[in-house]
Structure 1
Amino acid sequence: MPLSEHEQRMLDQIEQALYAEDPKFANTVRQTNPAVHYKRWIIKASIGFVLGVSLLMAGVIFKQPAISAVGFIIMLSCTLWGLSGWRRVVGGAEGTAAPVEGKQPRAERRGMMNRFEERWRRRQEGDH
Structure 2
Amino acid sequence: MNALFTKTYEDNASGKLSDERFMMLSKRYDDEQLALKKKVSALQAEIDEEEKHKRTAASFLRTVRRYTDIQELTPTILNEFVEKIVVHQAQGVGKGRSQQLDIYYNFIGKLDMPEVACLPQSVTVDTRQGVAVEYITRKAG
Provide the TM-score with structure 1 as the length reference.
0.33
**More relative contact order, 1 or 2 (CA 8 Å, 6+ apart):** 1
Computing the radius of gyration over CA atoms, which structure comes out larger, 1 or 2? 2
Q: When you count helix as a share of all residues, which structure comes out higher?
A: 1
Say which structure is richer in strand. Answer: 2
